[in-house]
Amino acid sequence: MDVERARHLRDKERGLNRPHTMSPQPGTRKHRELRFSKIRPGQIEQVFELLSGLDGLTVEPGSVPNGISVWYEITDYTMQGLEAALIDQGFHLSNTLYCKMVRALVYFVEETQLRNMRQPERLIKKSHEVYSKAWEQHPHGDHDDTPVELRQDK
């Protein structure tokens, strides 16, 4: 049995619903894992204490020793915002290639979801009317400027 499978079984036994941070998470509630550098071992406890004081943010120990799991509403927090605030406080994030790639993907996904949530809904049923009116006013090859009386065959 590999380590990830053992953690999954442990969490299931404890009743923790801990989906993988890269699994699809529909809706606005997100579960992410913040991973920190192993150079400063005491920072995990400090980060845990700091983040536990924030409203709307659930913090638990991570699935790896140098990580912390957080749950939040995307309208309140983003992973990029949390990590930027922690870096400003002097904490050091993990800089492995895997962590950098996950970060970039999560930043993009959350930014896109927030941008889509701010957009007004399109009126799908009326969109064809808008395009039809625009087409009628647009000069194209099917339009003949000759008056009707001159176009009739006699």
Q: Which domains are assigned to the chain? A: 3-118 (3.30.70.100)
Question: Which pLDDT does position 146 carry in this prediction?
Answer: 77
Q: What distances in angstroms separate CA 148 from CA 136, 139, 153, one per listed residue?
A: 18, 18, 10
Confidence of residue 65 (pLDDT cuts 50, 70, 90): confident
29 or 141, which is more confident: 29
| pTM for the model | 0.65
- In the chain, the amino acid numbered 98 is Y
How far is the C-alpha of 58 from the C-alpha of 15, rounded, in Å? 16
**Max mean pLDDT range (41-50, 58-67, 103-112):** 103-112
How far is the C-alpha of 23 from the C-alpha of 27, rounded, in Å? 13
Q: Under the phi-then-psi rule, with left for phi > 0, alpha for psi from -120 to 50, and beta for the rest, what region is 57?
A: beta
Percent of the chain at pLDDT > 70 equals 79
Helices 79-88 & 43-52 angle (0-180, nearest 10): 120
